[in-house]
Structure 1
Amino acid sequence: MKGMGMMPQHRRKPMSEINVVPYIDVMLVLLIIFMVTAPMLTQGVKVELPETTSEPIQADKDVESIVVSVDTNGAYYMEIGDEGGDPMSLPEIREQITKILSQRTNSEVLVRGDEHVEYGVVVRLMAELQAAGASSVGLITEAPSTDK
């Protein structure tokens, strides 16, 4: 007679179910994050750019600027100081900019693009310049004429 006068002992079985409540919480948080960030990921937005005048950049005397120009035909030219050059390809521009910026880290890179050149040509040039090590690339513009 086992344990007379004592309450019989009941053994609890181990629980074999997974508690999914924390997983549901995580899923809901991720759902909210994706719902908030999804509208920000749109690639193309139609915009009408305003026409404004801008103040000229104050050039430092000790910083030599490198100007890369794109003409209406999509040909690239590189000017360092007062020296102009012959037409170059994008890989040649990238190679030259990489060499120059490895020697002179304080040089600024500016892009002068013809107004009739395709937007994609200028964007490809700017991407190559950044890949060559140019931390910031400026755009050269002219002030709008007042003879209207």
Structure 2
Amino acid sequence: MRVLVTCPPMLRQIERFRPQFDALGWEVTAPDVVQVLTVEELVDLVPQHDGWIIGDDPATAEVFQAGAAGRLKAAVKWGIGVDNVDFAAARALGLPIINTPTCSAARSRTWPSPICWPWRGRPSPSTGASVRASGPSQRASRSAAGRWA
């Protein structure tokens, strides 16, 4: 399984996550990107991968169409903001896609399991036990309106 990671916060810590990817048998592509890749770059890269962990890149219908014509099986949007992702286009192509609003930091010990459920089909028993053992979840931040984001 090949996974493309284009999210800068995760890319900056990719070596921290590499053992978890290796344990799952996943080959990770971590392009040299400061903030976002262009649509053209994504149209070239995404179809070569089974999964895509999206940052702030333009995850447009064009990119998802190229991915679906290639190997892409699922995508995950890292973090809170989702205005750059065409969820409807991904779903129309039959691509499972979720976002992870509380995954803006690498604080989760069990990170790849929950974020990658679309690829695995279901959560593992060890993930559930680990989450229960870690206690109550922490909220990420407050929005401008004073609501939890």
The TM-score with structure 1 as length reference comes to 0.30
Larger helix fraction of residues: 2
Bigger Rg, which one = 1
The TM-score with structure 2 as length reference comes to 0.30
